């Protein structure tokens, strides 16, 4: 299969997989019924889409804050000649999931998460990373309020860059603050955060690895979803391979007393995958962030202009990614974070 062989059924399949992979015994059979194709054809098509690197993986997606991890977006400034080597050092930390070069004085942007068991904490981890890389300047930009999160790229072409959606996406109200994880929960999370096997009954296979029944596994996942801990089971795509070659981080200078009014207007656009309130600094006045994915920079520019028009916010910037250094899912309850901390404690 090549990119030229992608057809309408594949594109419909990719839309379904990004939205909600069924949490039931025979998920591929259910998807096949939606598309009027067989279970085996669904599995074959997904396998082929993985081979051409349209699909990164299919797995459970968890909410970092509900998992009691502390996370933040970090911006660092480097001389261009030092940027690649700095990104390489930063990527060694297992809590780094996304790391991009962007067109700004702050030219390296990455996300960092540390577990609740961390002895160093997020701020000290950032301090160590800044010292290891000799960053010129560093800004910690945690989420102060989540208005929307969830990347769903329309592969069918039915939506245009300005299409809107109902306010039923994952946001602040979904976050669980007080869930206590059992040993069984942790065992399950460790399994379902990995790429699902492409077999007719993947949950049965995963349950066997945990040592429980598939019914117990599915019940637990549905419970975690109802609590806001698991956002969904879904496919993560390689954006550029899938045709979405541009992503812009729109940053908006919104007065604090207008954020609650402005953010929902921006989050309503389907092409806005993330919408957050973040802190400001004397050299960083932007309080609202929107991530936009488009097939071209022109698409992103057009949507940013539209967001400005509907919100009335005319002080903004668009930071485009020009290089991807790292993109992966965060691995929860893994020992690598503790190992990294033990190797760098002496720097504090």
- What CATH number has the domain bearing residue 37? 1.10.10
Mean pLDDT for 31-51 is 97
Whole domain around residue 47: which residue ranges? 1-52
Same domain membership, residue 118 and residue 6: no
Domain annotation covers residue 13: yes
The answer to whether residue 62 is domain-embedded is no
* Domain count across the chain: 2
DSSP state of 107: -
Q: Are residues 283 and 245 in the same domain?
A: yes
Question: Do 256 and 159 belong to one domain?
Answer: yes
pLDDT-derived band at 175 (thresholds 50, 70, 90) equals confident
pTM for the predicted model, two decimal places: 0.90
Spell out the long-range contacts of 168-173 with Cβ–Cβ below 8 A and sequence spacing 24 or more: 169/267, 170/63, 170/231, 171/146, 171/147, 171/267, 172/145, 172/146, 172/147
Say how far apart CA 257 and CA 336 lie, in whole Å: 41
pLDDT at position 19, please?
87
Nearest Cα residue to 110 out of 249, 270, 300, 286: 249
User: Do residue 157 and residue 280 come from a single domain?
Assistant: yes
Tell whether 33 is covered by a domain: yes
> Which residue in 98, 104, 205, 344 is the catalytic one?
98
* 174: pLDDT strictly greater than 90: no
The dihedrals phi and psi of 96, each to the nearest 5 degrees, come to -85, 120
99 and 133 in a single domain? The answer is yes
Residue 98 appears among annotated catalytic residues: yes
Mean pLDDT in the chain? 92
Q: Is residue 155 a contact partner of residue 14, using CB atoms and an 8 Å limit?
A: yes
- My answer on whether 143 and 248 are in the same domain is yes
* Residue where the block lists tokens 């760098």: 344
Beta-bridge partner residues of 347: none
Residue 108: inside a domain: yes
* Same domain, yes or no: 160 and 255: yes
Residues 148 and 244 reside in one and the same domain: yes
pLDDT, one tens digit per residue, over 221-272 is 999 999 999 999 999 888 777 778 888 999 999 999 999 999 999 999 988 9
Residues 234, 61 contacting (CB under 8 angstroms): yes
């Amino acid at each position: 299969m090549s990119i030229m062989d992608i057809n309408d059924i594949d594109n419909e399949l990719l839309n379904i997989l990004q939205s909600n992979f069924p949490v039931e015994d025979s998920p591929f059979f259910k998807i096949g019924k939606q598309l009027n194709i067989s279970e085996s054809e669904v599995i074959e098509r997904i396998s082929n889409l993985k081979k051409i690197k349209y699909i990164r993986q299919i797995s459970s997606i968890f909410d970092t804050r509900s998992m009691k991890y502390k996370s933040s977006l970090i911006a660092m400034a480097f001389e261009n000649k030092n940027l690649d080597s700095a990104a390489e050092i930063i990527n060694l930390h297992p809590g780094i999931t996304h790391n991009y070069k962007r067109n700004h004085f702050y030219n390296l942007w990455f996300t960092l998460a540390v577990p609740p068991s961390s002895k160093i904490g997020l701020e000290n981890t950032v301090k160590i990373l800044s010292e290891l890389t000799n960053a010129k300047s560093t800004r910690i930009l945690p989420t102060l309020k989540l208005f929307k999160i969830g990347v769903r790229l329309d592969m069918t072409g039915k939506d245009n860059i300005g299409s809107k959606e109902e306010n039923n996406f994952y946001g602040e109200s979904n976050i669980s603050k007080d869930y206590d994880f059992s040993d069984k929960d942790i065992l399950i999370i460790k399994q379902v955060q990995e790429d699902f096997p492409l077999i007719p009954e993947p949950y049965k296979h995963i349950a066997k690895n945990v040592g429980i029944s598939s019914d117990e596994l599915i019940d637990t996942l549905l419970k975690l979803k109802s609590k806001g801990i698991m956002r969904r089971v879904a496919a993560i795509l390689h954006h550029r391979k899938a045709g979405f070659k541009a992503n812009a981080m729109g940053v908006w200078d919104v007065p604090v007393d207008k954020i609650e009014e402005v953010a929902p207007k921006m989050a309503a656009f389907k092409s806005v995958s993330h919408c957050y309130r973040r802190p400001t600094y004397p050299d960083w006045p932007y309080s609202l962030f929107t991530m936009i994915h488009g097939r071209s920079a022109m698409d992103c520019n057009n949507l940013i202009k539209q967001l400005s028009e509907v919100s009335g916010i005319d002080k903004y910037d668009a930071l485009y990614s020009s290089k991807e250094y790292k993109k992966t899912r965060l691995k929860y309850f893994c020992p690598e974070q503790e190992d990294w901390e033990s190797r760098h404690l002496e720097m504090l």
